[in-house]
Structure 1
């Protein structure tokens, strides 16, 4: 009896679970328990009969060897039947468990659906985060590297700006010091200018104006060719004629230009001659300057063609009586340009005649490089 009740207790223990069920579900469970109890009682009854009557088969009356064979066959059948009943019992248990699970799922369907609805977004969010985490990590790393590079570039730029600002500040400081120094110099010059004697300034201005050249070709001075000596011509000298073919002699207005390079002179024929210069305005003549070159730079190595004794006359018309303004000697042992003062006649002249009475030994020609006429224009004197 103990063996028969044990399966019933196991079935009841399996089915006695505290769940809320309906009346139909309870009746179905009781029917399944009764069928399971009947199957268990039949199984144990059969096992008990086999144990009690092991020689109930017809082969029990046979001699020794056949009885052993019947026992083995009966044992095999019993084991096979036991295995079949156990398999059927396990199958019934599995079927009962499945039915019970389906019933519980049907009862708790709403709770299950709510759990699924709540769990699904969490699962999806976890999947999304898990798949996006590497990309986020790489993006964060790239942003960190970009920020580091930008910070380094900004730091370098700030350092360069600081260095540039320091350099510009130093330059500005130097400029301010120079400006301060210039202000001091300007103030001192203003003070000196106020302290300078006006008479001395006027004298310096007169000297500057008096030293201006009125015989410049660029300022309007010309040569009166009708009253000027001929230019030297070396037809009688064959060697000079060949050189003269390739080099045309300079005209008389060469003496009115500032170019005094060696050889750039006006050669008048012979050791005596004259030149008449038309000034661009009537001038009160104060001095005249005559220029030649030094012996060291002369193409011939000598200065024998330089003028020596010179006389200066002034006039206002071609046929007007000329006025002697001065006589002087050009000394080749002194400066290349020599200035000679003229007589103050209180008259202004528009023409000046320069007469060369002799030179320093050259009988063929006399070279004059430049003539400058100094004075004060008549209109300027009237205005003052």
Structure 2
């Protein structure tokens, strides 16, 4: 029985990791400048020409690593929110945390860079404001959802309402930006990995390295909270405090990911659900599996986004939305409530 419980998750994670490695190398080969697998390997060990080194080390590698990190972060953020709300339809995008992070950045653009070129904005400034926006939004959701405690259904309904309101404000502010800044904000809010660099990797990496292991450490609390507040309180869990800690962890992950990749949606919805079907609901194995599924989804979506059109690149957020919207409707139709 022990082998059946732990053998399957381990096998699933090994298979997912192998697929990620394969897609990663395919992504390094693909793009407007094609580099063969052999040339990729030669370049990685320092034996490629200058153009190949520039393409791989300055453009493709940081972009691929950013895709992996964002996939990790959004997937874990989604697992936490679905665990707290006990609802498979919860997601940092649907609940407004992504929108809150985006609003903070767009508001900063509007107030400080309204008549200037935002392309010169410090790479470290965007993550800071996105993170602040996500945390503030999480506090607002928690505050509005509080009514002698927090119920899961109230939490998700308040999140959806906050997301709608923030989305409207985002649209208004984006329309007031100057021409080039409007285009930048629009593409960024849609979700795009274009223009990422090693600076963005450095900016997002600490949040992933701290908050993903923290979520795994809190897996047993998520397991207990899934049984209901009464049972969780009965076994000695401080329900509201743990719920607040986990919401803040989810918001921190979502804010860091939005800072690096914009408003990429549906990863936090799809990755936990797929992982749950693969390894079951136990969060000790669900969270690591979801991180791999999220990374694979975003890496594959980015590969499609860069190669679906010959002379142009579409934002990766659009590709994810094309996949995610039908998947969301499918989950909605299967939901019994």
**Same fold per superposition (TM over 0.5):** no
Higher relative contact order (CA 8 A, sep 6+): 2
Query: Which is strand-richer, 1 or 2?
Result: 1
Q: In which range does the TM-score fall when normalised by the shorter chain? A: under 0.3
Q: TM-score, normalised by structure 1?
A: 0.19
State which structure, 1 or 2, has the greater radius of gyration over its C-alpha atoms: 1
TM-score, with structure 2 as normaliser: 0.21
